[in-house]
Structure 1
Amino acid sequence: MPSMELQPSLDRETGMSRSRGKRGGWITFPFIAATLTGLMLAGWGWLTNLIVYLIKEFNVKSIDATQITNIVSGGINLLPIISAILTDSFLGSFYVVAISSCFSLLGVVLLTLTASNSSLRPPPCETASSLCQAPSRVQFSVLYAAIALASIGLGAMKFTLATMGANQFDTPQYQGFFFNWFFFILYGACVVSTIGIVYVEDSISWVLGFGLCSAAGFVGLAIFLLGTRFYRHDKPQGSPYTGLAHVLVSAIRKRNIPLSSKTEDYCHGIDGTNMILAATPSQSLRFLNRASLKTEGGIQSNGSITKPLRLSGTVVVVVLISTCISLLIFDRFLLPTWQKFTNRVLTPLQWTGLGHVFNVLSMAISALMESRRLKIAHAKHLQQQPGAIVPMSVLWLFTQLVIVGIGETFHFPGQVDLYYQEYPVALRSTPAAMISVVIGTAYYVSTALVGLIRNVTGWLPDNINEGRLDNLYWTLVVLGSLNFSFYLLCSSLYRYRNVENKVDNSVRGATGETETGQEA
């Protein structure tokens, strides 16, 4: 039987350890959900429409505006790894979320000032004139300061809040439920922001749109602070990254010492409150086992700002809504039904694998749809008319966008759940940040890939009706299939450390068995 230290007595309705007090559990969920909603309404509201704001209000050239937006988006998705280090090593998740939310609010308020104060913007371009006055250094400085503050706040807050929410529960089962609802709320807030706030910015005024973002951010921060007395506050565990460096250095120093198969020959870190669960030497990366040996003395690119940009904003909503609906259906209906009849649950690796399948499928459908579009364009000789629009309904994009949303239903929650369960306790904020780092890296890798294909092939000319965009999609299908094959290989070799507990707990919950009353 599991020991009492690893399997404490639990409250089935809250998923909390009775020995850890009354803080945490589902009572914190409304506060975290409201916080996430407010802060994502604010963040997504300015980020989604940034390229339009730069072009319309700051007279930035379309290509430059696109580059600025890509850099900002990539930076926002790379920042969480820094916030994870600060969370795990120094501040804890509560203070990182609170501070980053203040940064976000300050940045959005500053953006609102640039929209409301004409002295902080260049004069508008004259009608029917291609001559536009560029922003002054002061105007650019204020704009970039606003974007930087808002970006730092959004990037540092989003996934740190996910980790903080999961830390409110003791059982992996409830943590998995939380991650599903977290992503549902995140995507739902993005849908509302895209449909509502972006519409206000485009059709009414930028001041009102950014003002709504500021109000949403303020309400989110206020609700977050109101829930302070209910949260379980995680304490920083020191600097685990320094510890990782020590492990590598120690392993190199002890490279000539033969490995032992005896547990007592290795050090196991116990500091009185936390135990590093490494009962036996790992068989993977065995070289690093030497570090714990006991030794003497050891230690959108064309820039159009009218209907095409608005259509792009509308199409994105299909993915967001698809993800929200899919999360709801799978979490509330399909998965419980599967669990009831099979007495098994899908592991995080299986969740992520299904996400890979749907991603490749969406690219294949995109390739087929683009092939159809090109046939129509060639049949009507539109390739000889630069900028000509193919008479084809946008609803043809619906299928692949829905499948992309379903793929995200499996991909992101599955990865976050896997990392959260398998990472050491001292690195609990890093797993959620890793997903964002992958997204941020993808912004730059995809740009490089498209640039390479554009330079090497003739698939992507300025006139898309003369190109072969479908070949680009087929290339992504091949690369995605190779990536999925590599994923299957890695998955087959991977051995879970902690996820088995989640499977056991979930099965017990499905069969009505209680988790309480276990004895050592």
Structure 2
Amino acid sequence: MNGSTSVDEAAQHPAARGRRGGLITFPFILGTMGGVSLGGGWVINLITCLKDEFHFKKVDAAKIYNYVNGSITMFPIVWAIIADSYVGCFSVIWFSSLISLLGTLLLLLLASMNQLKHYSQIEYPVLYIGLVLASLGNAGTRFTIAPMGADQLDNPKHQTVFFNWFIFTMYTANIISSTATVYVQENISWAWGFGLCILANVLGLALFLSGTRFYRLLKPKGSAYKNLARVVVAAIRKRKTILSLKSEDYYHSLEAKTPTNFFRFLNRAALITEGDTRAALITEGDIRSDHSITNPWKLCSVQQVEDLKGLIKIFPIWITGVVLSIPIAIQQSLFIFQAQTMNCDLGSHLKVPAASMQVFTLISTTITIIIVDRMLFPLWERLKHKPLTALQRVGIGHFFTILSMVVSGIVESKRLKIVKSNTLQNQSSAIVPMSVFWLVPQLSFVGMAEALHFAGQVSLYYQEFPESLKSTSTAAVAMSIGSAFYLSNPVIEVIRRVSGWLPDNMNNGRLDNVYWFCSTLGAINFACYLGCTLLYKYQNTQKTADDDKN
């Protein structure tokens, strides 16, 4: 990182003065992220573990895998609310790390029991408890570390560098998990594989705690979501009140401005009750002498009303993000079964584990991020004389997602033709004479898609979310992905029951039709997204432009 902080900046920013926070926290925060990501490596090969070690059917194992991934990406929003409202990021990170450690220990215990052939009736309950604890713990660390790391820095440029290294660290750790950890699980033992995850978790937690004296620990700000609920309640309580066009008739906490006309019903929440005068309000009404509100469930500020409106405006785009991730979740949970029926030999002595094929998605994502940031963005700005917007970046991600599903359908159609030509339809364990590396294009395209729409959504939500909800904007992206994993299970179940495309014997199924369905779903969702973007107007465009100038 080049450049140094000026004397004036040092006088203004405590992190720069070295009291607490600052660049010295980089190795501790990023090291913790690396340990946490490696500690969560048990998820990568979970489908194979459930199928081989606990004898689940293939589709059932895929559904459990989706629930686990859904929990890991859904519950960060809960942990974020707890951190912002009550205990802060530091407490959430170390506590959820312990929960994750306990859950992984239970998985290690079960793997050791299976290895020793010591089965018992409590095996499956303990398995589910271990998965729940490990999932919830992983959810509490992965997406809470990001805002805590940003809190240590005052310079926006330093924050940008941190987020770049944060994403790089996360994906690098996932690449290691997809290769080294999976190799140990399948070639040495599952117990050793889970043991490596535990070791990484412990080292990450130890590194995190060792940096305590350097961290800047911000006090919880109170629940912004409670303020949003107050706006709804106050608007309903005043639903019969006539709205005013005068700015002075509304309560302002920061600067005086008339509420916007979007969802005008909500403006009643900030409307000062008719019949009350300014003098009466200041002494004995809804507003105290220090201008604080005596009954926040009856009177809210204009800013709180506009914060809720901002979330309502962006909600349709968030929904398209959920639907966008459903085909990806389906592909991620089913392609492993394709890989297990294909030739996984790499040379004469090395065999590629099916789950390790996910590394091509991770590598593709990492490379695409570098190309987009270093080449695509500058080129676009030179040609168009304006930067590529977050909405445009997400839209390109939609296109690559659809392309990935189309390629998946083509590759699976080819695989099924080879199955039929070799009469392998009734042999579920038969290896099709087709290289597993035929799956690389579809996995690479989905990696490109994630690099575009995932990073684009993070940027969009951070820019467009209200100030009071900035720290949970990244959790909102994770929540959309988690929702997609949860919703993908009913979709898979309906397909399995109605069509018969997903039998336990994939050689006798029609997985290609599932991918064609995903392509169609993606295309319809892309059309809806384009409609949303045409109607959407950026709320903080000018503010973002000013920040870029600085």
Considering the TM-score relative to the shorter chain, is it more than 0.5? Answer: yes
Q: Which amino acid aligns with 1:290?
A: R
The residue number in structure 2 matching 1:215 is 199
Percent identity between the two aligned chains: 47
Size of the aligned set, in residue pairs, is 480
How far residue 247 of structure 1 moved from its aligned partner, in angstroms, is: 0.6
1:191 aligned partner: 175
8 Å contact 1:347–1:503 — kept in the other structure? no
CA distance in 1, matches of 2:145, 2:429: 44
Is residue 373 from structure 1 mapped to residue 415 from structure 2 by the alignment?
Answer: yes
What amino acid maps onto 1:50 in structure 2? L
Are the aligned partners of 1:16 and 1:169 in contact in 2 as well (CA < 8 Å)? no
**More relative contact order in 1 or in 2 (CA 8 Å, sep 6+)?**
1
Alignment of 1:314-463 (within 5 A): 314-339=356-381, 342-383=384-425, 388-463=430-505
The structure-2 alpha-carbon separation of the partners of 1:430 and 1:468, relative to structure 1 and needing over 3 Å to count, comes to same
**1:122–1:136 contact (8 Å) kept in structure 2:** no
* 1:251 partner amino acid: A
2: CA distance, partners of 1:62 / 1:381: 22
Q: 1:175 to 1:410 in 2, by over 3 A?
A: farther
In structure 2, the CA distance between the partners of 1:301 and 1:397, relative to structure 1 (3 Å rule), is closer
Between 1:235-244 and 1:151-160, the stretch displaced more is 235-244
User: Paired residue for 2:12?
Assistant: 19
Aligned to 2:88: 92
Of the structure 1 ranges 359-368 and 220-229, higher mean CA displacement relative to structure 2 is found in: 220-229
Which residue in 1 is equivalent to 2:212? 228
Q: Quick one: distance in 2 between partners of 1:174 and 1:493?
A: 34
Distance 1:240 1:427 in 2: 7
Distance (whole Å) between structure 1 residues aligned to residue 382 and residue 108 of structure 2: 52
Of residues 231, 234, 255, the one that matches 1:250 is: 234
1:327-361 Cα shifts (integer Å, max 9, x gaps): 22322343345446655322222222221111111
* Alpha-carbon offset, residue 16 of structure 1: 7.5
SS across alignment from 1:392: strand
In terms of mean alpha carbon deviation, does 490-499 or 51-60 score higher?
A: 51-60
Corresponding position of 2:120: 135
Q: Which residue of 1 aligns with 2:31?
A: 34
State the distance in 2 between where 1:424 and 1:25 align: 25
The residue aligned with 2:139 is 155
Q: Secondary structure at the match of 2:433?
A: coil
After the TM superposition, which of the residue ranges 474-483 and 370-379 deviates more from structure 2?
Answer: 370-379
Distance 1:145 1:341 in 2: 55
Cα shift at 1:191: 0.7
CA contact (8 A) 2:58 2:504 kept: no
Say whether the 8 Å CA contact 1:184–1:327 is kept in structure 2: no
- Once the two structures are overlaid, the 10-residue window that deviates more, 333-342 or 484-493, is 333-342
1:31-69 Cα distance to aligned partner (Å, 9 max, x none): 22211111110112x222334444555566666655544
From the superposition, tell whether residues 175 and 420 of structure 1 become closer, same or farther in structure 2 (CA, over 3 Å): farther
Once the 2 structures are TM-superposed, how far is the Cα of residue 316 of structure 1 from its aligned partner? 0.9
- Provide the C-alpha distance between the structure 1 equivalents of 2:335 and 2:364, rounded to a whole number of angstroms: 28
Q: Deviations over 1:419-474 (max 9, x none)?
A: 22322333233222222222222223222122222333354455545544333222
Give the alignment partner of residue 475 of structure 1, picking from 500, 514, 517.
517
Q: 1:400 to 1:196 in 2, by over 3 A?
A: same
Aligned to 1:287: 265
How many Å apart are 1:243 and its aligned residue? 1.6
**Does the CA contact (< 8 Å) of 2:182 and 2:353 recur in 1?**
no
**Residues of 2 paired with 1:143 and 1:381: CA distance?**
38
Give the whole-Å Cα distance in 1 for the aligned partners of 2:459 and 2:22.
17
Change in 2 beyond 3 A, CA 1:475/1:218: same
| CA apart distance, 1:491 | 1.9
Cα distance change of structure 1 residues 14 and 168 upon mapping to structure 2, 3 Å threshold: farther
Q: Distance in 1 between matches of 2:48 and 2:86?
A: 38
Listed as ranges, the matches of 1:100-119 within 5 Å are 100-116=96-112, 118=113
**Which deviates more from structure 2 when the two are superposed, residues 299-308 or residues 27-36?**
299-308
The within-5 A match list for 1:141-180 is 142-170=126-154, 175-180=159-164
The answer to whether the 8 Å contact 2:66/2:488 transfers is no
Query: Does structure 2 retain, via aligned residues, the 8 Å contact 1:122–1:134?
Result: no
Q: What SS does the corresponding residue of 2:259 show, helix, strand or coil?
A: coil
- Give 2:407's aligned amino acid: I
Q: Is the 8 A contact 1:180 1:327 kept in 2?
A: no
Q: Given the alignment of the two structures, is residue 82 of structure 1 paired with residue 78 of structure 2, yes or no?
A: yes
